[in-house]
Amino acid sequence: MSDLVTTARAATDAARPHLVALYRVITGLLFACHGAASLFGVLGGAHGGGTVPAGSWPGWYAAVIQLVCGLLVLFGIGTRTAALAASGSMAYAYFSVHQQTALFPLQNGGEPAVLFCWAFLLIAAVGPGSFALGSRLAR
């Protein structure tokens, strides 16, 4: 049984950088889609099909952060910094917008903000994984 555990551990250790990269790509893509929807009205648009007015606080700035940081994380360029900025923006969104309505995310509609906040904090902590363009550009 010990050999099976050792083999399984070796396989998961070998796959870890690729799984982290997949997590990074999916999270970055979803975040960038939120920004694109709010800025350009694509993918259903912001809040019922429209766009966020340019320069409006905090919606337009949040959408720019979502698009730019989402793309940077997606491609693995400046991943830790972009992920930390994205995490902070989602923490701000939760505490300034959602928590005023109710205490818990399920009650105040803040579940996406909380999930993105913690997802990006994890990416900032563990790094981009494999297939990051930032590491290729650094060479």
What residue segments make up the domains of the chain, in order of their start? Answer: 52-133
Express each pLDDT in 12-30 by its tens digit.
Answer: 888 999 999 999 999 999 9
pLDDT of 47 reads: 67
Please state, in angstroms and rounded to a whole number, the distance separating the CA atoms of residues 8 and 15: 11
Burial (CB count within 10 angstroms: exposed 0-12, middle 13-18, buried 19+), residue 10: exposed
Q: What is the C-alpha to C-alpha distance for residues 68 and 62, in angstroms, rounded to an integer?
A: 10
- The predicted-structure confidence for 29-77, as pLDDT tens digits, reads as follows 999 999 999 999 888 776 666 788 888 888 899 999 999 999 999 999 9
Calculate Rg over the CA atoms of the chain.
Answer: 17
Whole-number pLDDT of residue 121: 98
Name the region of 130 (left: φ>0; alpha: ψ -120 to 50; beta: rest): beta
Q: What is the pLDDT of residues 81-123, one digit of tens each?
A: 999 999 999 999 999 999 999 989 999 999 999 999 999 999 9
